Structure 1
Amino acid sequence: MFINVEKKAQKLFNTYQQAMSEEAVAGALANPLFSWHATYYTAKRKKNMIFLNDATTMAIVLFDVNAKNKQTIKERFEKQLAIIWQELGLSAESLADYLAIGGDWQISKMIHPLQIKTITKFYKNVIKPQAKTIVSEIDLAKALVKKVQQKGRIYVGKDETVKIIEMAQPFNIKHVNFEELYLKEITNKLRRLSQLDGEDLTADEVDNVIQQIQDENNQLLDLFLVDAKSNYSAKTVRRYRDNLRFYLNEWAAYRLSTIFNIYVHSSVDELEFHGVDKTERTNIKASLKKLAKYLKDKNIISDNEYDDILVYTQKDSVDLDEEYEDEGEDQAIEDFLASLFSESEKLPVVFDSQTDKMLDEYLKSFVALYGLISAQQAYQIIHSQNPSIDKERFDQYIQNKFDEMTMEYCIIDFREAFQNVNIAPEIFIFSPLLIKDGDRLPSFYKHQQGLPYYIPEKEVLIDNNFNPFANISNYQQDLEELLANQYGLSGDDLKGAAFLSLYQLKMSDYELELSSVNKAITKVIVFLNEEHGLSVKQDKANEPLIKLLVLIATNIRRPWNRGWTNYEMLRTKDIAELFSEMEINLDDPKLSSEIIGGIKAGSINRDELLNFLESSNLPPKVISKLYKQVEKL
């Protein structure tokens, strides 16, 4: 029998078997008919105990319970229960079965505050008013049994009590599958957390929710990975672990998303902007699919929820169940992934096949570097590096692309697609990941306005494998060597620490605000200390690690910075700064050679420069003359 005692009364039950473990709590929750809550109220300086059954209205009242007679509580309880049982019209044989199946008392802590609240209400509304007229504990218990009580979401009366007991026969104790119980508890909390709206929370509350999501994710993954070990190799399980920890805790959690609503708020594909390449994104999706299958098999998610996640992960191209050991297989995977994003061969040739292919590579790189760029500006950059590319045929090439669906970039005419959007009515090339809502594209573009474009050499810019984050992978080996030699990490811990440190640096600026390098470094240090038991501080002893992390963080190219790294941004002049440095002769104003060179090279957007002039505080005559100079370039 599970006896759940309020804290103040627990000393009166210390002669009985104590069962304060989570297993005991789980047993009580699974067997409410065999579970009772108990506390006492004080009257005339005496402690009077009340027991209330968790499934029915059965109540037991014991007067004057104290340290001297506490060893008789169970005996008195059972004698009074026999009277209540008979009062309900139930047989003595069924009571004997009930007590036998219930077994020895297991004293645990309070589980349902509602039960204690009900007892308190009974005392105020029933016991105290009738204290002078009802002096028998039996009569008092009978009076309480007749009172309707709330049990969870339903209300139970005396008649329902009889039905509950009769339907439970033959009596038995349900044995709890603790893994399933914990899993339900974890996933129920994640479901609740996924329903929170960040706009309704303060900054501190958001941080708290993120931490809660991460904590519950870790517990969920512990259960999932234990299950996965029986079906997959150790290497595959490690991949699941790394992919899911990274995605769920370092990406989805910061958007207040969990496995139950990732397909609404936290696109895996959007990780492209933050340095996660195609293979890595595909691996994350494959891991999510396995986690979803586990939750479906455990009856945590419905068939419809599972189908939603399957649709969300349908682009998977790599099955993590297989082991890819040699380079030939790895290359086959890369070739297959590349085929998903290959250019259609059905489009008509505009220039020639080689030039058309080069233009396609330019557009892919523009999206990787800038996220969003107007067709006019794209042409300006391309023409500066390829003078033979004429505007008329380039426009035709872009027009041919309108109906062509690719995963690398999209082309859209804002005049037709977004009539109420405050952005220039022209054609834009952009990543499909930016079109989550009508406000995303213009807000992204406005954030960039006034910044010059980072433009690599042509050979780099048209490289089909161009990735603005690829350069930091060169530091992974250096980071692993440092973590191994100076901090003693090895094996999976070493690989995981280096892998997740790199990606936390990549993720440090996943919104439009430019966070400081120091903030990104601090985040990685906290991660290394908490997850890998290190004690890194920003001091002399840890200087080599800090320097390497700074080097990595400052060399990540940011699409929202028009391709510049954090370090380069410190030295990059925007249009306003370029104008402030000009020595303007009011009688004969001229653009600086730096601005003229930037326009010709395509790094300065002509339209943004003209807009700046129109809104400047320069005299109208000066604006007019400078405006004409820009138009002639």
Structure 2
Amino acid sequence: MSKKLNLQNTINQIKYIQNHQESLLKLDPDQYDRQVTKLSMLNQKLIDAFIMTITDKYTGKTVKKHQRNLTFFLNEYLAYHLETILGEEILDLEYPITKGFTTTEMRETKTALKKFYHFLLDQQLITTEIANKVVDTLNSQLTLKKIRQSLRKENEYLKKMVSAAQPVFSETTDELIKNYFAAFANLYGRISCDQAYRIICRQNPELKLASTKFVDLAERLTYQSDELNFLVDQSQAQPQIIHHTLLSHPDKLMWLSDQTMGMPFAILRKPKLLKYAENEYFEPSPSLKALMNFYQDVLEIPKKEIERYVKITVSIIRTWTDDKISGIYSTVNDALLDDGYGCVNHEMLEEFIQVLINLYNDTPRWALRGFAPSQSRMQTNAFELLNGQKNLNKRLIRLIKFAQVDPLKIVLYLLGNSNIDKDTSNRLQQQIINLHIPSLD
């Protein structure tokens, strides 16, 4: 039987379950369980076929994430109630949140489902009408506006309680940690609260920050996110600090997570790091001076407006979340043209691109965990330092102790890497534990 006919047979069996759902729900427990198992197997055939079509399009981590979310949602959640991909239940991604699913999980599931239904349509397994209905319905769910509206009343209540509460550590220390969180969000885009704790502890050993109190403060800041440039996202297994702009762009957040796997963080000295608490902060440099001169002398932007456009330019470069960096130049130029500036001929554009290339090489980027491209070439991915190693090498130990690398991420990498034998993996994990690195766990 051809692959296409096999898939058509699979969808026909799913249609049968959907059309006879009412009578199947009345079966005795053993027969019902057999139907659940059958539906799960049918779903899995479609999921496996879908995964084969995207393997070459996305990173291995993204493919596994789509596979995991589809398998869990279709087989563990829907199939248990004999709900199929052709039913109405799949159109409601907000109800599962009331049953223990996190908002992040359902937003990731939403992304996977949309791609899955496009695949089903491409294979002519469903009609255009069904595909459009599902995708249009999914698009309207779990939007930033809806999430904020649903949480606003609870947040307002909690914020009143928080504002009336005593400081967690002291007013000065609480404010210092809040500034660190803002700096981390601006410099890195995203960072786990656990890793943030290690960096802050290392730079402020005299504070002797208790992990339980630190968790309390992080939870308190969660309900003040509307006032800050960052969000403390508690929906993850490992809570993280993310820049507020990423909340409405889960695709960018996912890209950033994939892009920075194993990368070390750029840990600046405390006074320099805390300057990044100021939104749109930029460091003086020769390349930045050249940009300011270009804006003033070539584009003839008024002096009083130059700083604003410099901040826009630096922000675009720092927060760029795309594999193709060539889009940076057109994005910056388009922003200038919208206000009546920008390059209007080829000669100006060539000069501008050269200025931007120099600035790009000097600008700390989210995709490089706070390193500038000119600095990142000298950095080694922590995962690469594990290749062929029977013990932790000195360089990796240094990265962990200096809070440049999250030890939990290394442990997870060891657990998921089939190329590292079990004995070696266990030995490396124990060596990490023996370093006694501060943690919130």
TM-score w.r.t. the length of structure 1 is: 0.37
Structure 2 CA distance for aligned equivalents of residues 355 and 576 of structure 1: 34
State whether residues 318 and 364 of structure 2, in contact with CA within 8 Å, keep that contact through their aligned partners in structure 1: no
- The residue that corresponds to 2:426 in the other structure is 624
| Amino acid corresponding to residue 367 of structure 1 in structure 2 | A
Contact 1:409 1:432 in 2 (8 A): yes
Q: After TM superposition, give the deviation of residue 397 of structure 1 in Å.
A: 2.3
Look up the match of 2:24. none
Cα distance in 2, alignment partners of residues 519 and 569 from structure 1: 21
Cross-structure match for 1:396: 216
Higher share in helix: 2
| Deviation at residue 620 of structure 1 after TM alignment | 1.7
The answer to whether the 8 A contact 2:185-2:241 is kept is yes
The Cα of 1:562 is off from its aligned counterpart by: 2.0
Q: Determine the C-alpha separation between the residues in 2 that align with 1:537 and 1:525.
A: 11
Cα offsets for 1:300-348 (capped at 9, x unmatched)? xxxxxxxxxxxxxxxxxxxxxxxxxxxxxxxxxxxxxxxxxxxx85342
Q: Which residue of 2 aligns with 1:360?
A: 178
Corresponding residue pairs, total: 272
Q: 2:371 aligns with which of 541, 564, 580?
A: 564
CA spacing shift, 1:395–1:508, aligned 2, 3 Å: closer
Q: Tell me how far apart the structure 2 counterparts of residues 431 and 523 of structure 1 sit (CA, whole Å).
A: 20
AA at the equivalent of 2:224: E
- State the SS of the aligned residue for 2:412: helix
- Please name the residue that 2:190 is paired with: 372
Change (3 A) 1:434 1:531: closer
1:346 aligned onto 2:164:
yes
One-letter identity of the residue aligned with 1:397: L
Whole-angstrom distance in 2 between the partners of 1:570 and 1:549: 19
- RMSD of the alignment, in Å? 4.0
Q: Which of 449, 459, 462 pairs up with 2:261?
A: 449
Match of 1:410 among 231, 254, 279: 231
1-structure distance, mates of 2:305, 2:143: 26
**TM-score, normalised via structure 2 length:** 0.51
Residue type of the partner of 2:427?
K
Change in 2 beyond 3 A, CA 1:482/1:392: closer
Q: Deviation of residue 629 (structure 1)?
A: 0.6
Q: CA deviation at 1:356?
A: 1.7
SS of the residue corresponding to residue 435 of structure 1 reads helix
Q: 3-state DSSP class of the match of 2:259?
A: helix
Distance 1:348 1:531 in 2: 51
Whether 1:479 aligns to 2:291 is yes
Secondary structure at the aligned position of 2:186 is classed as helix
Deviation at 1:455, TM superposition (A): 1.4
Report which structure shows greater RCO (CA 8 Å, sep ≥6): 2
d(CA) in 2 for partners of 1:381, 1:461 = 11
Q: Percent identity?
A: 19
Distance 2:228 2:280 in 1: 17
Q: Is the 8 A contact 1:508 1:515 kept in 2?
A: no
More strand by proportion, 1 or 2?
1
Q: Which residue identity is paired with 2:273?
A: L
Unaligned runs of at least 5 residues, structure 1: 1-198, 200-263, 268-343, 415-423
1:512 and 2:313 equivalent?
no
Q: What secondary structure, in the 3-state scheme, does the structure 1 residue paired with 2:164 have?
A: coil
The verdict on how the C-alpha distance between 1:465 and 1:367 changes in structure 2, with shifts beyond 3 A counting, is: closer
Which of the residues 405, 414, 424 maps onto 1:604? Answer: 405
Amino acid at match of 1:515: K
The within-5 A match list for 1:412-561 is 412-414=233-235, 425-436=237-248, 441-463=253-275, 465-467=277-279, 469-471=281-283, 477-482=289-294, 490=300, 492=302, 503-504=312-313, 506-507=315-316, 511-516=320-325, 520=328, 531-536=342-347, 548-561=355-368
Distance 1:491 1:615 in 2: 53
Deviation per CA, 1:336-395: give whole Å up to 9, x if none.
xxxxxxxx8534222222222211111111111222222211111112222322323222
**Rg larger in structure:** 1
What secondary structure is seen at the aligned counterpart in 2 of 1:536?
helix
| Distance (whole Å) between structure 1 residues aligned to residue 222 and residue 310 of structure 2 | 39
Deviations along 1:216-257, one digit per CA (max 9) or x if unpaired, are: xxxxxxxxxxxxxxxxxxxxxxxxxxxxxxxxxxxxxxxxxx
* Distance across 2 between alignment mates of 1:350 and 1:499: 36
Cα distance in structure 1, aligned partners of 2:210 and 2:380: 30
One-letter amino acid of the structure 2 residue matched with residue 453 of structure 1 = F
CA contact (8 A) 2:264 2:369 kept: yes
CA gap 1:439/1:449 in 2 versus in 1, 3 angstroms: same
Distance 2:244 2:295 in 1: 37
2:394 is the alignment partner of 1:576: no
In structure 2, the CA distance between the partners of 1:432 and 1:504, relative to structure 1 (3 Å rule), is closer
- Could you say what secondary structure the match of 2:378 adopts? coil
Instruction: Name the CA distance, whole Å, in 1 between partners of 2:306 and 2:220.
Output: 46
Give the CA deviation at 1:536: 1.8
Secondary structure of 1:630's counterpart equals helix
Runs of 4+ with deviation above 6 angstroms: 264-267, 494-499, 522-528
